[in-house]
Structure 1
Amino acid sequence: MGTKPALSAAVLEGLNKENYLDWSVQLKTYLMAQDLWEIVESTSEPPAPENEAAFKAWSKTNAMALHVIQMSCEPDTFSNIRETSLARDAWDTLAEKYKPKLRDPSESDKNGNIDDGVEIYMDLYKALQIGDWDAANEFLERHPRALSAKITVMDKAALHVAAEAGHVHIVEELVKKMSVENLEIKDFEGFTALACTTYNGNYRIAECMLGKNENLISIPNDLGNIPVVLALFNGHLKLARYLYLLTPLEILLPENGTMGATVVCEAIYNKALDIALDLVNRCPRLVVAQDRYGDSPFYALSMMPDYFLGGDRLVFWRRWIYSGIKHLYEMKLTHFLSNELLGRMKEQFSISNIEQIRSGSVGAAIVRASVEGIFEFVFEMVKADPQFVWSRDTESNGIFSVAVQYRRAKIFSLIYGLNMKNALAGMVDSSDNNLLHMAGMSAPSTSLDQIPGAALQMQRELQWFKEVESIVPPSVHGLRNKIGLTPRQLFTKYHEDMMSKGEKWMKDTASSCTVVGALIVTIMFAAVFTVPGGNDQNNGFPIFLNKKLFMVFIVSDALSLFSSSTSVLMFLGILTSRYAEEDFLVSLPRKMIIGLSTLFFSIVAMMTTFSAALLLMLHEQSWIFKPVICLASIPISLFVLMQSPLLVAMAMSTYGPSVFNRKMKPWI
């Protein structure tokens, strides 16, 4: 489903086929508040263009009103006024098309029934909308046929209107008056009143209707969706669970159509995994059945990375408390049910034939799970049947090919435990791209977002390329794809921009840190010749030479001077580097790590020097120097907070454990 366009603040919901009355009231109020309504309801002609001032003012007001009306429409309704230039005409056009019209009681409906009332249905419609049962009941007493009549241009009956408005007491009264057959009346889209209830998820309304007519649970709309599917699609899980329990299993069997697979798929998409698991347990054949869109439940599960711990991108601290904090109970339950569902699906494949596996898009689903980074999905399926290791999608991409392309290190590491890794590494897709070509392509932004700085991103990309290069046979290194590029050429082409940004990031960081380091060098060098207390005029030695704190002052000053000098040299080395691709792998990060570490150490030593000098000068008056020393810790704390995440990330990326598990044991 696509993203809805931006909506005007004038209305709560864009104009569609069913909400004209609410929409028009809200929009009219907004236009009046903005002094724009007069131009909409005006019947006079626009000022003549010759009257420039008046015409300009009118044009501006008209354009503002027209824009508000346009922005308050959904795409389908906007198409009716796309060519309209007058706000008044736009308003009239929409009113003519969407304002609920009353049927002439003397006209027959689609079934040939003739209403013999003399009142219009608008009064009934308004009463049902606002929940006025007395007025609605009075109308129905005078016009009994209105109980089953279709009272809007969308062919909605009174029960549809009351159900959509959510008025339980009116629905209960209407159901008492209606026959069992009348409860099955459909609107122009084939929705019964029960189906309309799935929009607002009102459990009591659904219960009321099904209490009188259980057949409503099995009546599909014009698109073939039964109420439980609509409730799932609209995210009303409590209602969906209630409807599912009442839905006959017979209509959900694969041989009776796509409805059963559709229920499982929608349950998976909307986190109703208990429904999906129960239905798959009751009818395992649904695992490889196709829903109304051609997808199988197995494929649907492969699209949900958040359902599995291996595909859930938790930050480290949430991973740490995952197993011990009940606050994450719902997430753990989802993971548990997902694994249960996967296990049940896996059992079904052992008794499925090749045609069922092919129609269920099993191979494509495993590849899709690799794209999403769902380790458990890929591991369990391939372990259950090693033939799945050769799974491919429609573009001939295999499991490990997309794992490299989307930088799924955990899934790619499975290749280390396979004896046929050379054969897998030599596979090519429809564009003749092999595994190393995939490593040469740019990683998707989602896999790089967690890596701070373009330089570290470039380093990670080089690590991926080097790792895949060590896996594939040497003969693959020079192979060209359909556009005539070797893997290394492809890497250079796709990473030019990243390398440029990485160079700029490195130089900007080094330049800023060089200034700080040079300033510390200057201060620490001068501090040696301006020691606290001064020098003895007779021999030139410092007055506090024999005090222990003076030695702390001298040592910390020297350490700060030497470490800051080292940091400046490291940052100068970064500024003068050649910035070749290989430099981003180890050379540049190492210089940055040394530079930041020594700069941090020099700041700590500088603050120690200052504190020691202060203590010497104040003769250990603690009531003064303790607060000052506490203040001296602020710069250190700020540096740690701002720079330590980068320093740690760079150190871990360069010298920490690899993201690849090269010690993977044979697993199939």
Structure 2
Amino acid sequence: MEKEIIISKPDMNHFKEMSEPYKKVLANDVHGLAAIYSGNPDALFNPITARIDTIFHIAAYDGREEVLRVLLGKVPQSKKAEVLKVKNIYGNTILHEVATTTHVNAARLLMEEVLPGIDNWQREEILGAQNKLGETPLFRAAEYSCKMMVEYLATAIGRTGNLESHFRRNDGTSILHIAVIGQKFDTAIWLLGKSPELATYTDKNGNTSLHLLASMASAFKSSSPTKGIFKELIYHSIPSDSRKEEGTNELTKNRQNRDLEQGEQNRGLNQQDYCKGWKMIVQIWKQKKMHESAVKLAKLLVETDASWFEPHEPEEDDTIVMERKEEEKEETSKSNATANTERSPEPDTPLLIATKTGIVEIVNEILTRYPQAVYHIGTNGRNILHVAIMNRQYKVFNVVKNKKEAKRLVRGIDNHGCTILHYAAKTKYYHGGTKPTPALKLQQELTWFEEIKNHMPSHFIMHLNKRDTTADQLFKDNHLDLLKTSQEWVKTTSQSCSTVAILVATVVFTAAYTAPGGFLQNGRPILLEQPLYSFFTVMDVAGLASSLTSVVIFLSILTSSFEFEDFHHRLPRNLSLGFTFLFFSVTSTMMTFTATILLLVHLEKKWTATLTYAAAFLPICIFALFQFPLYYQYFVAAVKSILDFLKRNLPGNWDFLQIIDD
């Protein structure tokens, strides 16, 4: 039973005293607030929210400069320092609250009204005040606010105190860590310029800022591609940020341009203002700016990263094993049980984390600056190819496979006895691929497996991992569910398409014996001499032939064995042909219908004829609109299978016959 809450009359009066100033500060009612506190300035320090915020907390957070100016004028000079010392329930002072916003003028007003009248010791106390997490106002600004706020607070701190005392909070997280976590990359770049040693700071888990950045797939173009051709075109049409870095740390009071992270720049240079109102363009613009800032930050952080140089010797040499001893199997089962309960606290290196998340920019930057880093081996014995392949990071794999060092890396065997081909077979980190249907997903996995196999020494295919399994066996075991799903999808799709093709064949077959206009007594069509009649005949025959061909193709698909090998080339190719003939048969049927209408009804007005044509082609357009993406995928799959066949069987170098996959 819930406890009954009884509110006394004094409590009601207190609630009213709290609600009135709260409403007025939100409404920016300066005169109303002045009237409330004119006779009782001590009430300015009373809490007015459940978070124990004072009127100053709310006004500062909302950027009410005039309200702050009037209320500060009512505080006696001897108590003004207390304004910036009072804390809410989270231990945040007024500077903590305003530091999380972009209201730099409000922060400047507070500090100019309060700080000049106090000594340096009190200034350091106010600027270095910590909340319950151990965060100073500067620390919170790095996570939530813009670069301009961080610059202003850092400049104020630099005049009287030690900036380094603001670099960490209680849990060991540094100010650069928090800027990266908040994706304030311009702020992070500025902080690195101020204190380069921040790049080497680690948190309680041993992560540097580069570790965190390497795990942010959404911050980079390669790992968060723009979806849609139109959006991609806009992305590449937007100009890059060519602004030069400012050469001074001093901030002028009349600075009006906001930081890049808030989506605005200097009014004289900002082209983004022309896109206001176009939400999609503004969003893509901000995304591109974030991508560019993330790349700049990554380049700075990579300069001080030496984690790739830490040696980790793998437990197994690059020699294949064709038979495992029983002792090894027992030891493997014990080690697997231990691995499930105990995890190493040591994090992966930024190189392997970026490989896992598919951030090509960081991988390229590390390998460009330190080419020998490509040989780096993680604590579990995996190299960069193991990680890229197991996480299906095709772009990273394409970067590494073209390097000379790849010939040595492909022979790598990790601590579980797995080659890179074993990881191409595993689906633990497989998240559905990039293809739309189960059949294409399975084909993508088969193609991926075959490509990895082609890059390995041929005898490595026979290698047994510590679970006594070859890569081929592992692939079939891990893809059984996908195979069953693909089989069901292909059968259902083929049956549905066969039904449609038979209906189309029935319609066009009937149309052939019910010619428009009828027949003469000798069996000759009445409208035979009309030009459109020949068009009607050709379209009718084409529709019948293509629909029957489509039926035959789909029937051949239904009678196939549906094994793994069938999904690699034959089934996708046949589905592509079946869809092509089905689409052509539907198109021919509609053209036949259009020709019939024009033969029977003589349209003299142009607008009537135009409407007739539009109505006739509407089903074709809708069919093409909805089926084109699927048809395109299967068409590409069919073309790739044909090109692969030519490359395998024709003499000479046919590498130019290649379609780059996703």
| Same fold (TM > 0.5) | yes
Match of residue 208, structure 2, among 265, 289, 296: 296
Match of residue 420, structure 1, among 379, 392, 405: 405
Matches of 1:622 and 1:168, distance apart in 2 = 70
Aligned pairs for 1:640-655 (under 5 A) are 640-655=624-639
Q: Which amino acid aligns with 2:388?
A: A
Q: CA deviation at 1:526?
A: 2.1
- 2:364 is matched with 379
Q: Which amino acid aligns with 2:95?
A: L
Q: CA deviation at 1:238?
A: 6.0
- 2:349 is matched with 364
- 1:464 is matched with 448
Matches of 2:512 and 2:97, distance apart in 1 = 84
Task: State the TM-score, normalized to the length of structure 1.
Answer: 0.71
Aligned pairs for 1:530-609 (under 5 A) are 530-538=514-522, 540-609=523-592
Q: Which amino acid aligns with 1:408?
A: Q
After superposition, the C-alpha distances for 1:115-160 in whole angstroms (9 at most, x for unaligned) are: xxxxx987875565444444345334xxx5x777899998877755
After superposition, the C-alpha distances for 1:239-290 in whole angstroms (9 at most, x for unaligned) are: 4454345443985559975799722222223332221112212332222222
| Pairwise CA RMSD | 4.0
Q: CA deviation at 1:417?
A: 1.8
CA change 1:617–1:160 in 2 (3 A) is: closer
Decide whether the 8 Å contact of 1:363 with 1:388 is kept in 2: no
- 1:317 is matched with 230
After superposition, the C-alpha distances for 1:20-75 in whole angstroms (9 at most, x for unaligned) are: xxxxxxxxxxxxxxxxxxxxxxxxxxxxxxxxxxxxxxxxxxxxxxxxxxxxxxxx
After superposition, the C-alpha distances for 1:487-516 in whole angstroms (9 at most, x for unaligned) are: 222222322222222222212221221111
Unaligned runs of 5+ in 1: 1-85, 103-119
Q: Which amino acid aligns with 1:223?
A: L
- Is residue 225 of structure 1 aligned with residue 135 of structure 2? yes
**Other structure's SS at 2:528 match:** coil
CA change 1:256–1:135 in 2 (3 A) is: closer
CA change 1:255–1:620 in 2 (3 A) is: closer
Decide whether the 8 Å contact of 1:556 with 1:608 is kept in 2: yes
Aligned pairs for 1:340-359 (under 5 A) are 340-349=296-305
Matches of 2:556 and 2:496, distance apart in 1 = 14
Decide whether the 8 Å contact of 2:22 with 2:55 is kept in 1: no
After superposition, the C-alpha distances for 1:434-481 in whole angstroms (9 at most, x for unaligned) are: 311221122757563x42111111111111111111122334323334
CA change 1:655–1:251 in 2 (3 A) is: farther
Q: CA deviation at 1:367?
A: 1.2
- Is residue 88 of structure 1 aligned with residue 26 of structure 2? no
Unaligned runs of 5+ in 2: 26-32, 116-122, 240-280, 312-345, 645-653
Q: Percent identity?
A: 27
Q: Which amino acid aligns with 1:629?
A: Y
Matches of 1:479 and 1:241, distance apart in 2 = 58
Q: Which moved more, 1:369-378 or 1:298-307?
A: 298-307
Aligned length: 545
Decide whether the 8 Å contact of 1:545 with 1:551 is kept in 2: yes
**Other structure's SS at 1:87 match:** coil
Task: State the TM-score, normalized to the length of structure 2.
Answer: 0.72
Aligned pairs for 1:45-444 (under 5 A) are 86-88=1-3, 129-130=22-23, 131=25, 132-140=33-41, 163=60, 171-172=68-69, 173-174=71-72, 176-177=75-76, 178-180=79-81, 183-186=84-87, 189-198=90-99, 202-211=103-112, 212-213=114-115, 214-215=123-124, 216-234=126-144, 239-240=149-150, 242-248=152-158, 251=162, 253=164, 262-291=174-203, 294-315=206-227, 316-325=229-238, 327=281, 328-349=284-305, 364-393=349-378, 395-442=380-427
Q: CA deviation at 1:647?
A: 0.5
Q: Which moved more, 1:630-639 or 1:326-335?
A: 326-335
Q: CA deviation at 1:430?
A: 4.3
Matches of 2:218 and 2:22, distance apart in 1 = 40
Decide whether the 8 Å contact of 2:546 with 2:585 is kept in 1: yes
Q: Which moved more, 1:309-318 or 1:457-466?
A: 309-318
